[in-house]
A = this chain, B = another copy of it.
Amino acid sequence: MSSTTYPPISYADYLKTNELLNQQKLRSEEFGRKAHDEMLFIIVHQTYELWFKQMLHELDSVLGIFAANPIPEQSMLMAVHRLSRMVEIHKLLVDQVSVMETMTPLDFLDFRDMLYPASGFQSTQWRLLENKLGLKRDQRLTYNAVPYHAYVNEAEAARMKQAEAEPSLFDRVDEWLTRTPFLKTKDFDFANVYGQAVRELLQQDREAVRRHAKSDEDRERNLKSIDETEKVFNALFDASRYAELKSQGHFRLSHEALQAALLILLYRDQPIFALPFQLLTKLQDLDELMTQWRYRHSLMAHRMLGSKIGTGGSSGAQYLKAATEKHRVFADLFNLATFLIPRSKLPALPESLTRKMNFTSP
């Protein structure tokens, strides 16, 4: 604690509380009709923006780690740790919606029309978060047919576009997954042995349906569903079939990346896959929390606005509800569950592989 170099600093100066607590300017007060609940509205949004800054701070550091090729082994724990922190923060952001909901629609009306056209759609940081995670421009719902970057000034729009242009976390994870070792060695061809095991299982699924169906209609529907699963499954190993489905939007990861993610999920107990497995889980958690947050927001918007014209003159609730699903980034990881098989049917790894996957020789 070499404080000789560091001058003392007070709490207020360190946290700049004066400046911070001087940024809450109520429009209703400015116009002589002070509305009590406008303070809550401002504070809720300002705390969101502070947390968005924190999320971007963590995300940028994970992007930094994942930009390296190869990623140093000693950086993996930190990457998982910081994604965990993002998940922890995001749970708080979802719960925070309940605080906003203590404002009644009638109280919102006291100042709502003074905010035009300000709207959450103009939150640059939220857009940066989405872009840096991996939301693509053509994936975005337009809002009132206006491109999303048209809602902000030029400097902010430039920041958003730059984030779009740079590799996102999705891109980096895709690249990193394709570099996963052990997919194909002379002792072990994962695609081959796994393909066999899965085909066996789907056949047993069919037999189960035939035996237990409640009706002909029920049986046919389920058999058809299994056939479709098998078709998608075939794409898992047939590169041109996969490319076709990918172009239709059914997949987003590269072919090798998807196979690698599957390998990690199946053999996660091998020490070399432990942190990668945790990382993929955290990406799912984050994707799910952002989805929950959009959904909670759409419910709150409905509660607050009914179907009346909103602060930005638009139907926010409907946009938010549609974006809930459309703006998902890591859906592939969720869909991997389709391709898992029971542990008891998992092909065993040859010793030549496990030796390299562990710290000590068996």
Contact = CB atoms under 8 A, between A and B. Distances in A.
B309 A335 contact: no
A116 B275 contact: no
A102 interface: yes
Nearest to A226: B309
Contact of A73 (B208, B266, B307, B358): B358
Contacts of A99: 85, 88-89, 92
Contacts of A124: 12, 17
Contact of A85 (B2, B102, B120, B344): B102
Contact of A309 (B50, B225, B307): B225
A172 interface: no
Interface string A239-282: 00000000000000000000000000110111110110100010
Contact of A201 (B1, B40, B303, B359): B1
A47 B344 CA distance: 30
B53 A24 contact: yes
Interface stretch (A132-140, A144-152, A162-170, A185-193): A144-152
Contact of A4 (B19, B207, B340): B207
Nearest to A356: B359
Given A14-B115, A218-B144, A74 B270 contact: yes
A84 interface: yes
Contacts of A91: 95
The copy count of this chain in the complex is 4
Most buried by B among A5, A17, A96: A17
Contacts of A39: 53-54, 57
A11 B120 contact: yes
A338 B20 contact: no
Contact of A77 (B15, B33, B229, B274): B274
Given A98-B88, A225-B315, A292-B299, A23 B16 contact: yes
B40 A54 contact: yes
Given A47-B51, A105-B337, A274 B76 contact: yes
A344 to B, nearest CB: 7
A288 B308 CA distance: 19
A49 B27 contact: no
A42 B226 CA distance: 27
Nearest to A114: B6
B14 A118 contact: yes
A213 interface: yes
Contact of A1 (B3, B208, B269, B360): B208
Given A156-B12, A299-B288, A340-B105, A31 B46 contact: no
Nearest to A122: B11
Contact of A117 (B8, B109, B145): B8
7 contacts: A4-B207, A10-B117, A15-B42, A40-B54, A92-B96, A271-B359, A272-B359
Question: What 10 A-B pairs have minimum CB-CB distances, sorted nearest first?
Answer: A306-B338, A11-B122, A306-B337, A1-B113, A105-B337, A16-B23, A3-B208, A85-B102, A74-B269, A11-B118
Given A6-B27, A40-B85, A271-B275, 13 more contacts: A2-B113, A3-B208, A11-B121, A14-B118, A21-B49, A21-B50, A21-B53, A39-B57, A92-B99, A105-B336, A225-B307, A288-B299, A303-B337
